[in-house]
A and B are shown apart, each in its own frame.
Chain A
Amino acid sequence: MALATLARRGAANLLPAVMIGLCAFVVFGPLTNLFLWAFAEKWFFPARYPTEYGFDFWQRVFRPRAGAWTSLFNSVWIALATVGLSMALAVPAGYALARLMLPARAFIMLIFLLPQAFPSLPIFVNIAHMFYGLGLNGTYTGVVLVHSLPGLVYAVWIATAAFGAVDRTMEEAARNLGAGPMRTFRDITLPQAFPGLVAASIFVFLDSIDEFTGTFFVGTPDISTLPILMFNASMGGNYQIASITALILLVPSIGFMLVIERFLKADVLSRIGR
């Protein structure tokens, strides 16, 4: 009797354990592989694991003329500029969408999603074509604009949710006690929407750091970012350099997870898309 209960309990515990194990494998398997490649000096076909480890390729990646530093700075500057541009548009847009009873609010929100709804390749090919005409191809401006296209989706949707989560009577209380509209926005609305806006900025930043297709069509060969560098390395069969680049790309992602846990309140997340 007791044994049967134990067995049943064991079986009940086993299933979740197996599921968690599978998920972990799917998530961490490729990461482990990446990690191994990043530190593999020699790893040829029949060997299951690298035959030699070392930092030789790290030195090669960070050699002054290898382009990794340039790509890294490019990536970061472009991402920061994209955040700046997206948020500059998303803060007023998000406030308007959350506060003012715009007639076609749902429709406007949907329009912001449209670039994500279509396959990105044809969109970027067309943008590249347009940018050729405008002389924006191969310029930082062009790349920042292309990165802002998906960036704005995150920025506007999350900013709208963040402003929507601010209790309107708190703004009214400030107005009532003598604050003008701009002062109210600065002192009351903005500080309360701030965690959501930080989250939006982080999303935009990460999306930009990670962006490949748009940069490939609009930026290359004049502008190289880390994903472009990684792509070139993988295409050249240089898995070590590709893996090291990928690991560098992981740094902002991990930073993001730490920050988002601190800043993003559940009530902001729950309002996204409302």
Chain B
Amino acid sequence: MGVEALALHGLSIRLGGAQILHDVTLNVPAGSFTCLLGPSGCGKTTLLRSIAGFAPPASGDIRLGARSIADLPPEKRGTAMVFQSYALWPHMTVAGNLTYPLKLRGIVRAERDARAEALLDILGLSGFGARKVGSLSGGQRQRVALGRALIIDPPILLLDEPLSNLDAAIRRNLRGELRRLQQRLGITTIMVTHDQEEALAMADTIVLMRAGRVVQVAAPQDLYARPADLDAGRFLGVDNMLAGRPDDPVAAATLGFRSMDARIHATAPQDALVRHGTVLDCAYTGGGYHLQLQSGAEVISAVSGVPVTPGSQVCVAVPTASLMAFGADQMLLPNGSPPIAETVQ
């Protein structure tokens, strides 16, 4: 069918009186890997299900390539979805699951079997064809579910938290495997996840969602360095949010930074955000120490290579490059706003 781009225009969805999606507009380029990222209940799964045809839109349009698919029933859309629970059919064998979509398309048995065989090879499941689905491990089921979706050579692949039911170690392996497979096939892929690490590691583009709206669409590096607002920052692991002061190197209502960028210094360095505080707690985290500091009314998380006695007074500094400046409206301030320290002095 070939790879196709996906476009959503002003998509709104209501379920049982509640507005799940508000006016979502999104362009997914052909062959890209896009992650829908957000906390649970943000509407990311509903968005994916609406693309597959399981959540009828109240308004808006869904276009796959040149054609609108918003009014088509699920079976006519040609999207291939991998469900979070995998949704393999337990009354069929592994090969039966893989070949069912081909059977629906009227492909003869010999070719069905040959294609299933080839796919099982690609998935590293050779010889599993005659097995019952129930006898497979979680990772194997996940591969079969993926294979069943890919066997129809779909224009777009939809993944609903495909790795969330797996052990951490298997998950990390499959992440890379899935990404390589996607790149090799060049298939347009949309994956739903609540795991920011997974999204950062796999996606070309991350769509950050909150409360049924798209908050930010950005490449992983941009999203990580420049979250659109305070909540987005918090969701992406910006664990320090301090009220800005006039003598800070960046002018902002709120300054955000990650604790791994905040280090203890003997003397205050240049070109950095500096705060003084009392050490509340010092915990060993393997590679170093994680500190909690009381600085005025605020608590700061920081890291240190050496242990620090709780109760001692320290100076913590964050390089200006690691700071995120948010305005009074909680939105990220545009880059290059003049550091207030220079203009005041």
Which A residues fall within an 8 A CB radius of B?
167, 169-170, 172-181, 183, 187-188, 191-192
Contact = CB atoms under 8 A, between A and B. Distances in A.
> Chain B interface: which size bin?
20 to 34
Contacts of B73: 175, 180-181
B104 A175 contact: no
A177 B100 contact: yes
27 contacts: A169-B85, A170-B89, A172-B74, A172-B81, A172-B83, A173-B88, A173-B89, A174-B100, A175-B54, A175-B73, A176-B75, A176-B80, A177-B100, A177-B101, A177-B104, A177-B152, A178-B75, A178-B78, A178-B104, A178-B105, A178-B152, A179-B75, A179-B104, A180-B75, A181-B73, A188-B89, A191-B91
B69 interface: no
Which 4 A-B residue pairings sit nearest by Cβ, starting from the closest?
A: A173-B87, A177-B101, A169-B87, A175-B74
Contacts of B87: 167, 169-170, 172-173
B12 interface: no
Given A169-B87, A191-B91, A192-B91, 10 more contacts: A170-B89, A172-B83, A173-B89, A175-B53, A176-B52, A177-B149, A178-B101, A178-B152, A179-B104, A180-B75
Contacts of A172: 52, 54, 74, 81, 83, 87
A173 B91 contact: no
Contacts of B81: 172-173, 176
Nearest to B78: A178
A177 B89 contact: no
A257 to B, nearest CB: 24
B96 to A, nearest CB: 10
Given A167-B87, A192-B90, A176 B100 contact: no
A3 to B, nearest CB: 52
B219 to A, nearest CB: 29
A191 B90 CA distance: 10
Contacts of B90: 192
A183 B79 CA distance: 18
B148 interface: yes
Contacts of A180: 73, 75
Contacts of B77: 176
Contacts of B75: 175-180
Nearest to A191: B91
Interface string B163-198: 000000000000000000000000000000000000
A141 B152 CA distance: 50
Contacts of A178: 75, 78, 101, 104-105, 152
Q: Which of B52, B74, B101, B152 has the most CB of A within 10 A?
A: B74
Contacts of A191: 91
Given A183-B104, A187-B100, A176 B79 contact: yes
Nearest to A168: B87
B80 A177 contact: yes
